[in-house]
Amino acid sequence: MKILLCFGTRPEAIKMVPIIKELQFRGLDYKVCVTAQHREMLDQVLDFFQIVPDFDLDLMTPKQSLNTLSAAVLNAIDPIFDNYLPDVVLVQGDTTSASIIALAAFHRSISVAHVEAGLRTYNKRSPFPEEGNRQIISKIADYHFTPTQNATENLKQEGVNDKSIICTGNTVVDALFWTQELLGRDLNFNEIKELRSHLDQTKKLILITGHRRESFGDGILNICKALLEISKREDVEIIYPLHLNPQIKEPVMNLLGGSSNIHLVPPVSYPAMIWLMEQCYMIISDSGGIQEEAPSFKKKVVVTREYTERIEAVEAGFCYLTGTNKNKIIDKVMSILDDPVVLSSIPNPYGDGKAATRIVEFLINLE
């Protein structure tokens, strides 16, 4: 069996790497194709995990629209199919490139396997365009690797054949464990040393991330205003790795650039982000990946979204939805800072770090 793995963003790469490593370990026939719409951030992950793509479409262009990207992916992937002739194409998650590659494989009668299948908000505008993308992929995919039982039930309710659904856990946990092991070997990460030198170990560190389209404009302004209020506490220090998108970076720099205990830093590498999650007291984020990773660190996340497809983390007490409402963000953060609840006994609902093994074993049995 010939397996083609396709992805183009840093989050996709992080979640696909454990599968690639498992395929390598077992000596199976596979190739990696990157669409690379997030060039710099993608390359950081590939370098760290020592993954060299077999095909690099290099589709990143400044300010490209979703339709422009879709057309580029659809046009570029056919020669890859002709070159490698895969039996199965693996796509991950909910990016536009993943949905278009799934469509292209369907057009060529190539089986599609969907990693992290079944996540739903059932609101096609939140998150946008991810919710629409993942529902489209579910209609096309032949095999659905779900991260949780909730995701499995979503697909069953939509009429997906039970035999094509495999609950594996989320490969993000696999990647996290592997990275923690590397960091635990005292490798010389200058980036982490630099970050450590700026932080006051006596204060409660709050880690911030944000990049969602639905937060552009007033949303990011409200988040920044909330951070300014939170930063007035003497026991708090904030670190904010800024997303490269100017619609996030520019307003954040304008509003928060002068705050003494808010550290605005360039985007950090994946291992540095894992280190920051280990060090922080809590997180404010709109990231789906962080909602999945934080439970392994027993850290609470204020989620600046109205809806989440990671409801398991909310139900377990790790995540709290506030949207971009300034007062809701402030109130929830203050309550976590003042009245912490220990979550050490609650397992990560997204898996045990063996998802990639389950995925590859299923693919082997297809032969």
- Residue 71 belongs to a domain: yes
| 309 three-state secondary structure | coil
Do 7 and 34 meet the contact criterion of CB atoms below 8 Å apart? Answer: yes
Query: Choosing from 108, 243, 306, 361, which is the catalytic residue?
Result: 243
The CATH number of residue 145's host domain is 3.40.50.2000
Residues 16 and 111 in one domain: yes
Check whether residue 235 and residue 149 sit in a common domain: no
Per-residue pLDDT of the chain (367 residues; tens, 9 = 90+): 999 999 999 999 999 999 999 999 999 999 999 999 878 889 999 999 999 999 999 998 888 899 999 999 999 999 999 999 999 999 999 999 999 999 999 999 999 999 999 999 999 998 999 999 999 999 999 999 999 999 999 999 999 999 999 999 999 999 999 998 888 765 568 899 899 988 999 999 999 998 777 767 788 999 999 999 999 999 999 999 987 777 788 888 998 998 889 999 999 999 999 999 999 999 999 999 999 999 999 999 999 999 999 999 999 999 999 999 999 999 999 999 998 777 888 999 999 999 999 999 999 998 6
- Whether residue 177 lies inside any domain: the answer is no
Residue 234 placed within a domain: yes
Element (H, E) at 236: strand 236-241
Q: Determine, yes or no, domain membership for 67.
A: yes
Query: Are the C-beta atoms of residues 316 and 344 closer than 8 Å to each other?
Result: no
Q: Which of the following is catalytic: 116, 131, 286, 312? A: 116
CA distance 37 to 8: 6
Range of the domain at 164: 2-170+351-366
Produce one character per residue of 169-194: b if its CB has 16 or more CB atoms within 10 Å, e if not. bbbbbbbbebbbeebeeeeebeebee
pLDDT of residue 216: 77
Q: What is the pLDDT of residues 266-320, one digit of tens each?
A: 999 999 999 999 999 999 999 999 999 999 999 999 999 999 999 999 999 999 9
One domain for residues 136 and 245 = no
Query: In this structure, are 49 and 115 located in the same domain?
Result: yes
Is 116 marked active-site?
Answer: yes
Does some domain include residue 345?
no
Give yes or no: residues 11 and 147 share one domain: yes
Q: Is beta strand 55-56 parallel, antiparallel or unpaired with respect to 165-167?
A: unpaired
First-to-final CA distance of the chain = 6
Taking the C-alpha atoms of residue 160 and residue 299, their distance in angstroms, rounded to an integer, is 34
Whether 240 and 332 share a structural domain: yes
Residues 196, 118 share a domain: no
Catalytic residue among 213, 214, 233, 331: 213
Residues 18, 131, single domain; the answer is: yes
Instruction: Out of 94, 286, 293, 312, pick the active-site residue.
Output: 94
Q: Which of 38, 120, 144, 211 is catalytic?
A: 211
C-alpha to C-alpha distance for 331 and 284, rounded to whole angstroms:
13
Can 213 be counted among the known catalytic residues? yes
Contacts 24+ apart (CB under 8 A), 274-278: 274/176, 274/179, 274/180, 274/183, 275/183, 275/189, 275/192, 275/195, 276/195, 276/205, 276/207, 276/239, 276/241, 277/207, 278/180
- Cα 264 to chain centroid distance, Å, stands at 21
74-103 pLDDT, tens digit each: 999 999 999 999 999 999 999 999 999 999
Q: Is residue 22 part of a domain?
A: yes
Say whether both 160 and 247 belong to one domain.
Answer: no
Catalytic residue among 12, 130, 286, 293: 130
Same domain as 140, residue 241? no
Q: What pLDDT does 184 receive? A: 77
Total domain count, the chain: 2
Same domain, 7 and 142: yes
Distances (CA, A) of 154 to 128, 314, 336: 19, 17, 31
pTM of the entire structure?
A: 0.91
Same-domain status, 227 and 104: no
Identify whether 264 is part of a domain: yes
**Catalytic status, residue 94:** yes
Residue 181 inside a domain? The answer is no
